[in-house]
Chain A
Amino acid sequence: MGTIIEEIFSKKLGRKVKAGEIVICDIDYIMSHDNTTPLAIKAFSEIGKLILNKNKIVIHFDHAYPAPNIIVANNHKKIRDFINVQGLKNFFRKGVCHQVMIEEGFVTPGSVIIGGDSHSNTYGAFTALGAGFGSTEIGVSWITGKTWFKVPQTIHIILSGSLQKGVYAKDVMLHIAKILTMNGATYKSVEFSGEFIDNLPMHERIIFPNMSTEIGAKCGLIKTDQTTINYLKNQTNAKGPFEIIVPINPIYEREIEINVSKLDPQVACHPKVDIVKPISELNNIQIDEVFIGTCTNGRYEDLEIVASILKGKRVSENTRVIITPASKRIYDKCLENGLIKIFNESGCIVTGFGCGACIGRHGGILADNENAFTTMNRNFTGRMGSPKAKIFLGSPAAAAATALAGKITDPRIIVGEIDE
């Protein structure tokens, strides 16, 4: 009985759990990456106790891999040494941690996963509790296998209608960020439901929990249905049978109803994710770099949309267009189906898989006074390099249209849905 988050904790603890309670709960997987693991190792070493269960630990290299400088290289070496000494098996260098967590089958309905990364909320698309934690708690949890949670109240977002051509889940999520603001769901769970979500494929559903981080949420959750189960069976290494977790007579703190049918493509403007405008208001902004990728929009289906817009055309001479597939699996599929060739022929730079330019460490750092249009989830000052650069966020289709024009462009103009 309860909201999805209450259902997850109730099942885990074998008793009825209600919002507001503080619980200590077993963790299924403890995830961290090359940026957050060094501090976790420090905390772990200082406590000086043993790892409870090595199979629960999952470590990824994705934030800056291969290493772009000596300091990062030494950090990687330190983590690899730790992995070898401890005999850890779940070590991946296959792409963005959240995408690889899904592909490798760690994310299943009802599982509790803490991640040393703020976008661990992503797992909520599969009705798993995914929550971002700091490094110290990651190292602590290696020892304890459990941690404390305050069971959050839930904001329920009910989405109805169907999108116009050229408008995507990303546009809807940016619209939600505008309504709720960056502070609107702080400490809360956010449930996304309604006929729009029911009809949405998994790669688009993932956007909502993934970006629930940007409105402050502890977690973002979508109920389990046949779409969830089919994806887990066909697209991941997860082993069933899977739990079906849905809200049962839930009491929500707040409910927001949104009809998406008339929504235009949206853009989040520098430097906050909640400064969101319809793309038509930003038409003439020149763009120096387009970056397509990340845990938000670097999936195969995203890149397929980009390829469909770029095929047979050349990107603007004045714009660097960087495409970073989220994972090796996605990269391989792009290669197999000719997408990489399309990107190369249209003048894009395709990089290896991973987080790429998103964290301003390598793979497309911005210069002073440059403008970037990206498919990322966050556009804070200095995130991609120079603090004097500006970052705009939008859908992969909008990024592709912008790449062709060299200025922010409504993708519906390129696909002939509307006139310029």
Chain B
Amino acid sequence: MSRVWKFSDDVNTDEIIPGRFNLTINPKELAKNVFCEVRPEFSKNVKTGDVIIAGSNFGCGSSREHAPVAIKGSGVKCVIAKSYARIFFRNAINIGLPVLECDIDAKQGDEIEVDLKTGKIIINNDEYKAEPLPEFILKIVEAGGIVNYLKNHDIEELQ
């Protein structure tokens, strides 16, 4: 069983990981400061397998890939948001952080079950179904990110 970390709308990449910490590309190092300004307790209390639930436009702002890397490095299993900023969405897929689109009613600390394959989400006895990812994106996610995909495939095979 995973726990919910609840965030609001328009969470930006400066809030996920401020620019001054982007000196490293080490996921564990970045995770030490993830959400440090808006949720200082996050990095101390987050447990492997926890889930972030957010509103619309999650990950807006700069193109820094440090943002999804920092979240993945913290052990978060997946992010479920009403919608994402486009670069963050692409970055998350590319580095292998699962991102689902779904409007979920949840509170901080709720227990949640997420099936990444089917998109089925159970929370407080309510069942939700996340928007399925397009087929070519699933190919990247299933390979564990674009880098792993391209080790064995050509980019044209995505189409």
Residues of A within 8 A of B (CB): 22, 24, 35-36, 38-39, 42-43, 46-49, 69, 71-72, 75, 115-118, 120, 132-137, 139-140, 143-144, 146-148, 182-183, 186-187, 216, 218, 272, 359-361, 378, 380-383, 385, 387
Contacts A39-B65, A43-B147, A381-B14; A132 near B87 (Cβ below 8 A): yes
A216–B60 touching, CB < 8 Å: yes
Task: Kindly list chain B residues whose C-beta atoms are within 8 Å of the C-beta of A186.
Answer: 57, 83-86
Min C-beta distance of B86 to chain A, whole Å: 5
| Whole-angstrom CA separation of A136 from B96 in the bound complex | 11
Q: Is B62 an interface residue (CB 8 A)?
A: yes
Contacts A35-B64, A183-B60, A186-B57; A140 near B87 (Cβ below 8 A): no
**Which of these binds chain A: B44-52, B72-80, B115-123, B150-158?**
B150-158
B residues 31-62 in Cβ contact with A at 8 Å: 37-38, 56-57, 60-62
Contacts A134-B63, A360-B19, A378-B61; A387 near B37 (Cβ below 8 A): yes
B14–A382 touching, CB < 8 Å: yes
B60–A182 touching, CB < 8 Å: yes
Give A40's nearest chain B residue, CB to CB. Answer: B65
| Whole-angstrom CA separation of A100 from B95 in the bound complex | 29
B residues 1-51 in Cβ contact with A at 8 Å: 9-10, 12, 14-15, 18-20, 22-25, 37-38
Query: 7 A-B residue contacts at CB 8 Å?
Result: A115-B63, A118-B87, A132-B87, A137-B91, A378-B62, A383-B14, A387-B18
| Whole-angstrom CA separation of A187 from B10 in the bound complex | 15
Contacts between the two chains (Cβ within 8 Å), count? 134
Interface magnitude class on chain B: 35 or more
| Whole-angstrom CA separation of A383 from B38 in the bound complex | 13
B14–A380 touching, CB < 8 Å: yes
Task: Kindly list chain A residues whose C-beta atoms are within 8 Å of the C-beta of B91.
Answer: 134, 136-137
Task: In the A-B complex, list the 4 residue pairs whose CB atoms are closest, starting with the nearest.
Answer: A134-B91, A134-B65, A380-B14, A387-B37
B57–A140 touching, CB < 8 Å: no
| Whole-angstrom CA separation of A194 from B23 in the bound complex | 43
Task: Kindly list chain A residues whose C-beta atoms are within 8 Å of the C-beta of B24.
Answer: 71
Contacts A117-B63, A118-B63, A182-B60; A136 near B87 (Cβ below 8 A): no
B18–A360 touching, CB < 8 Å: yes
Min C-beta distance of B138 to chain A, whole Å: 13
